[in-house]
A and B are shown apart, each in its own frame.
Chain A
Amino acid sequence: MSAKVITITSGKGGVGKTTATANLSAALAMQGKRVVAIDADIGLRNLDVVMGLENRIVYDLVHVVEGTCRLRQAMIKDKRLETLFLIPAAQSRDKNAVKPQDMIDVCEQLRPDFDFILVDSPAGIEQGFRNAIAPADMVLIITTPEVSAVRDADRIIGLVEAEEKGPARLIVNRLRPGMVQRGDMLDTADVLDVLSIDLLGIVPDDESIIVSTNRGVPVVMENNSRAGQAFRNIAARLLGEDVPLMDVEAPTSWVQRFTRFVRGS
């Protein structure tokens, strides 16, 4: 076994990198794959709380890099999914505590025992981002359909290509089909047109993400969430399955269509 290293990044903060990392890791583990998620956001640790594993941290990534503990000691095993592990970030250090070569070394040690290593990148384009993409075999870029997020995604795509880690693949997060139909939100086609990269998946805006994050349970574990289904589909595509894109267009009745015509949107 030699794991594939997938780095999830975005440039802009708050677009869903950590949520995507937690959910794709869980979805891959639900398919029986051996998965380790690494939080590369040193100083702003969050993947642990999103995955619901925050109470079990003893050692973190910086302890591993500095040789305070062995790699195995920093790996937290998820109790719900037998094949899912987390390596948390340090909370009290800064991004310079880890170097790109450290990330490459850690991933090399993990590769023989896993199918996938998912790296949650910090926002920004500085050292933390460079650490996160250093070991990557594949880079996933998350954006939301907003001008600021798309602009930052474009910058990141350029940097990923400059590091010869491309071509990156895109996940459009928090799409609101109703707003797209009213002409008040960029559609996935608009985003792809502007960024010119391949689409891996679309995740609809879904309140169940907030609820599941409150509970510390990845939304992919819940069957009746549309965002959960979208993340499961993306995981299936990462496994090479040909899953059609979700129909994120909200179902419309003739009343809605008529109302929309009268309002002219």
Chain B
Amino acid sequence: MNLLDRLFGRPQPSSREIAKNRLQLVLVQDRVNLSPQLLQTLKDELIAVISKYVEIDVDGMEVTFTQSRRQSRLTADIPVIGARVRR
């Protein structure tokens, strides 16, 4: 980023920030031993199972791994539209 970029407001992340972000992503995968492809499969299966019971907003769904200290946590945020089956 040079002076012109700075004055005209085109901020670009430094290579340091890029390195940190890439590391954080790859370490999540390393720690749970789950590739991006497997994570997608997990998502698809979650959708399939949950859709049997409730209608969900698939586009608004977020499945992420978060880290606190050295513990990994799988968080699924799934918007529900309505009940699919009445029992």
In the bound assembly, the distance between CA atoms of A262 and B2 in angstroms comes to 7
In the bound assembly, the distance between CA atoms of A140 and B17 in angstroms comes to 26
B5, B19, B24 interface centre (most CB from chain A within 10 Å): B19
Residues of A within 8 A of B20 (CB): 186, 190, 193-194
Q: B24's closest neighbor in chain A, by CB? A: A194
A194 and B23 within 8 A (CB): yes
Q: A180's closest neighbor in chain B, by CB? A: B16
Asked if A37 is at the interface of the complex by the 8 Å CB criterion, the answer is: no
Which chain A residues (158-206) contact chain B, with CB distance < 8 Å? 158, 161, 180, 182-187, 190, 193-194, 196
Which chain B residues (36-87) contact chain A, with CB distance < 8 Å? 67, 69-70
Residues on A close to B: CB < 8 A? Answer: 146-147, 150-151, 154-155, 157-158, 161, 180, 182-187, 190, 193-194, 196, 261-265
Output the least CB separation between B85 and chain A (Å).
43
Output the least CB separation between B71 and chain A (Å).
9
Residues of B within 8 A of A265 (CB): 1, 14
Q: B15's closest neighbor in chain A, by CB? A: A184
In the bound assembly, the distance between CA atoms of A264 and B31 in angstroms comes to 36
Cross-interface CB contact of A183 among B6, B16, B24, B67, cutoff 8 Å: B16
Output the least CB separation between A191 and chain B (Å).
9
Q: A186-B16, A190-B19 provided; 12 other pairs, C-beta below 8 A?
A: A147-B22, A150-B23, A151-B23, A154-B27, A158-B70, A182-B14, A185-B16, A190-B16, A194-B23, A196-B69, A196-B70, A263-B3
Residues of B within 8 A of A158 (CB): 31, 70
Residues of A within 8 A of B24 (CB): 194
Q: B22's closest neighbor in chain A, by CB? A: A147
